[in-house]
Structure 1
Amino acid sequence: MKWLSLLLLVMLILHPLSAQANSLEHALTACRAEQNALKRLVCYDDIHLTNKAELPAAVSGTTSDPRANAADVKGASTAQPDAAAAKAKDSASERFGLEHQRQPEQASELSFIVSKISYNNRKELVVEFDNGQVWRQQGSGHYPIAVGEQHQIKRGMLGGFNLSNARNNRTIRVQRER
């Protein structure tokens, strides 16, 4: 009689687990059959969330709130972070991904008057402006320029700079030497 009751008890315990495994297998098969990638991902997420909700907290060893688990692991006694840390986190998350964009205080274009023109050993144009800045051409294209003319230095792509003039429609890429 003991064996029969023990066998009955084991079957009662294992029956819900096998039913859960069958339902999980059925749900995974349904997700695999989905052709749309986004819908398939949502299907897998739903399976994960439903299976996580079905597990009791005592068996899984965790609660459904990951923040509560982190507080338990760290041994934190306070549930609310201080206001300064929250504000710093918010400002960091607001700036995330915007590092490459120009800052509003930076000028995008400056105008100078040419004071000296020369060429280096590679026959690249070297221009000195009235404020003492020296800019060197990157590349080998021809650019018409004369002493006393006003030219603009504009910010280009990927941190580069371009030298241009309103008189002609040419632009060359330049790099600041001094």
Structure 2
Amino acid sequence: MRLSWITAAVILVSTNANAGVEQELLACAMKSDKLDRLVCFDALAETVKTSQSSTSAASAAPVVATATVPAVAVSQSTPATPTTLPATLPKSAEDEFGGNFKTEEKSLEKLYMEVTSVKKDPYGALKISFSNGQVWKQSDSRHYKLKAGQTVYVEKAALGSFVLGTDTRNATIRVKRIK
């Protein structure tokens, strides 16, 4: 039974050459069975791959150098928004640590810093300023005591988050870099 659905899906995708890739994607997404949907997407990817290789093989003789640019789907209803770069680009891995800079992954996993000031916002979350100019804010609701002059570490945690702690305590808090 599944084999007949798989063949039907492959034939449907391969014979529907006039329909755009978007329509074929929608047809695959409408399938309720997970396996049929996966087979449909795989067959669609294979047809796109073979069509790209056949067109590139046909036009390969006169071409000196080509660059492959990945296709990006753009919604017609939302205009493209320009991205802005930070005013000053960071100069070291320490400056980039915890920031929202879209650069390659750095190997720095843990950073020790000295606290210069600790303030609380109206909701009780700590706002911690460090001697290197960085400012971090507590993103969970745990109670954690800090004072100026104390040396703490900020370490990478799961899913792109960061934790702040000291070597003398077994407790940490989640923090987010704001400056």
TM class, shorter-length? 0.3 to 0.5
**Which structure: greater helix fraction?**
1
Q: Which has the larger Rg?
A: 1
TM (norm. structure 1) is 0.46
TM (norm. structure 2) is 0.46
